[in-house]
Chains A and B, each alone.
Chain A
Amino acid sequence: MRPLIETRNLSKSYNGTDALKNVNVKVDRGEVLAVVGPSGSGKTTFLRLTNLLEIPTAGYIFFDGKDTACPDADRLALRRRIGMVFQQAVLFNETVYNNVAYPLKIRDYSKETKDLKVRDALKLVGFSGFEKKQATSLSGGEAQRVALAQAMVYEPELLLLDEPTVNLDPKNVSIIESVISKVNHERGTTIIIATHNMLQAEQLATRVAVLRDGELAEIGDSKEIFKKPSDFLASFGRVLNVFTGQSRLTEEGTGIIDIGQGVKIEALTTKTGSITVFIRPEEIIVSKSPIVSSARNMLRGKVEEILDLDQLVQLRVDVARQFTVNITKRSFQEMKINLGSNIYLSFKASSVHIL
C-alpha cells in the first residue's frame, strides 16, 4: 500500500538554525502517528511542513505518492485534502457557524450541504446548538473543539493536530481525544498528532515518532516504544502513575497487582505475572475521609507536593508508592488540603490501564 505521507530527508532551517534534520517518516492511510518530543524538538515544524504551509529547506514530502514540491495550484489541491488544528485555537471573528462553514464556503459548497455538514461536525465535537454564538466569546476548550470541527468539516484524508489539548481542562481534553479516536475509527482519517502528553500518545496512536533536536530519534509501534521507553523518552515524557508489579487473579476474575511497599491495586485484567500499569491522574478521586463507592481501589496517603497547573492543582501523594492526582482548584480549596494532609485516593479497577 502506498503511504499517505512520506518524508525523505526532510529538513528545515530558520535563519541558519536547523529545526528539522533529515526526517524520514512514512504514514499509512488510517494510521495514527504521535510525534513526541520536548518543546523545540521540531514537532510543530514537522506538522507545518506536512500541511504545506512552509517549504522544506531540503528533502521531500510525498502526499499520496505525489511530490509536494509542485506548482502552487497543485499544492493547494493537496492542502485541501489535509486538515490542521493549531496549538492555540485560532478562530475568525464570526459566529461558530460561519467559522465551521468557512472551509466549505471556499470550496463552493451549496447552502444545504453546508448546513448539513456544519451540523454534523458540531455534533461530532459536542457543540450542537451553538451555531449562532460568537466565536470570540468561547472558552479555550470550546474554541479548540470548534477549530477541530472546522478542520474536519470537509472530511480531510489527513488530520494534523499540534498539541491540541495543551492547557485545556480535563472535560474538553477527553471530548477532543474521543473525537480524534472516533474520526480515525469511523472515517478512517489518517492522523498525525504532536503531543508531549505521553498518555495521550499512547492512548491514541498506533505508532510513535520521537523527535530530538530536530532529528528522528526513534519511531515504532506505540506499544513497543512505551513498553521500554528509552532514557530520552523517559527524560521528558514523564508518564505518571506507572507501576510494575506481580499480578494474580482473584476469584471474581479481576487481577490484584502488588506494586511494592505493600501497595496492592485491583485491575480488570486476566494477565498474571509481571505487569505494568498506569492510572491517569484525573481518574483518581480524592477525599479527606474513606468513602463508600463502587471504586475497587482506595489508598490512604500523605500529600507531599502541591503544584499549581493553571486550572488544576496537581498533588503528589505518598501511599508508600508515589501517586500523582489532579483536582480542580475549587475542590482543592473546599477540601482545605495542605502539605502533609492525609487523604484517600479512590479509583475503579477499570481505571487501571495495562501497558
Chain B
Amino acid sequence: MNLILEGLVKAFWLIVSLDREVYEIMFLSLRVSGIAVLIGALLGVPSGATVGLKEFFGKRFLVSIVNTLMGLPPVVVGLLVYLVLSTSGPLGVFQLLYTPEAMIIAQLIMVIPIVMGVTISTVSSVSKAIKEKALSLGATNWQMTLRVLREARLGILTALIVSFGAAISEVGAVMIVGGNIRWATRVLTTAIVFETELGEFGLAIALGLILLLLAFIINWVLTYLQWSGLRR
C-alpha cells in the first residue's frame, strides 16, 4: 500500500516539477505510437476498405490472415524487425536498429493488421443497400467508396483507438528494437520494466500512472470525437 502511495506522490511530483527525463520519455512514447498509428491508418484504412468492398478470389483467406495478424505477439514482431534491421539483416545498411524509427516500424507492423481488420469488418457491415443507394443517386465508384467510409466512420475511429492503445502499451517490440537507451529510445513501457528491475518501484508506479493517464486522455478525446460523429 505504501509503495502505491509513494508512487502516486512521486508521479504527481514528477509531473508538476516538469521532470525533463519523464517528459522526454512521455513525448517519445507519444511520438512513436502516434506516428505508427498515423501511418498505420494511412495504409490500413484504404487497404481495409478495398478488401471490404471488393469481391475477389482468395478474399476469405486474406481476411483470415489479417485477423490472425491482429493478435501478433509484440515480442515476435520485435524479433522479426530486429533480424531485418540488424547489421547482418537485409535492411542493416540503414542502421536503424536502436532508433525511434525502428520502434515506429515495429509498432506499425502491429498496428496495420488491427486497423485493416477492423476497417474490413466495419466496411463489410455497411449494408449493400447503402452502396446501391449511393450508386442509384448517381455516385461514381469513388464517391460510393467515400460514402461507405463515412458510414463506417465510427468503426474506423474504433480501429484507431484500439491500435493506439495496443501500440502505446506494448513493451516487447520496442524493448528489442529500441534497446531502452536512456535519452534516446526509452519509452514509458520500457522505462517501467527497467525501473521495476532496479527496484525503483516508486518511479515505476509513477511512470505507469502517467501511461494510464495518457491512454485515458487519448481515448477520451477519440471517444468524444466518436460521439460527436454519431450526431453529425
Q: Which residues of A contact B (CB under 8 A)?
A: 51, 53, 72, 76, 79-80, 82-84, 86, 88, 90, 92-95, 102-103, 106-107, 134, 150-151, 154
Contact = CB atoms under 8 A, between A and B. Distances in A.
Interface string B122-163: 000001011011111111110100010011000000000000
A79 B151 contact: no
B231 interface: yes
Q: List the 6 closest pairs (A to B, CB-CB), nearest first.
A: A80-B138, A103-B137, A90-B129, A90-B133, A84-B136, A106-B143
B232 interface: yes
Given A79-B136, A102-B137, A106-B139, A92 B129 contact: no
A76 B129 CA distance: 18
Contacts of A53: 132, 135-136
Given A92-B151, A93-B151, A94-B232, A86 B139 contact: no
B133 A106 contact: no
A107 B225 CA distance: 29
Which range contains the number of B residues in contact with the other chain? 10 to 19
A266 B68 CA distance: 75
A106 B140 contact: yes
A145 to B, nearest CB: 16
Given A90-B129, A134-B231, A106 B136 contact: no
A84 B139 CA distance: 13
B136 A51 contact: yes
A72 B139 CA distance: 12
A107 B136 contact: no
Nearest to B138: A80
B122 to A, nearest CB: 12
Contacts of A84: 136
A53 B133 CA distance: 10
A82 B141 CA distance: 17
A301 to B, nearest CB: 44
Nearest to B140: A76
Contacts of B151: 92-93
Contacts of A154: 137-138
B138 A107 contact: yes
Interface string B106-131: 00000000000000000000010110
Contacts of B143: 106
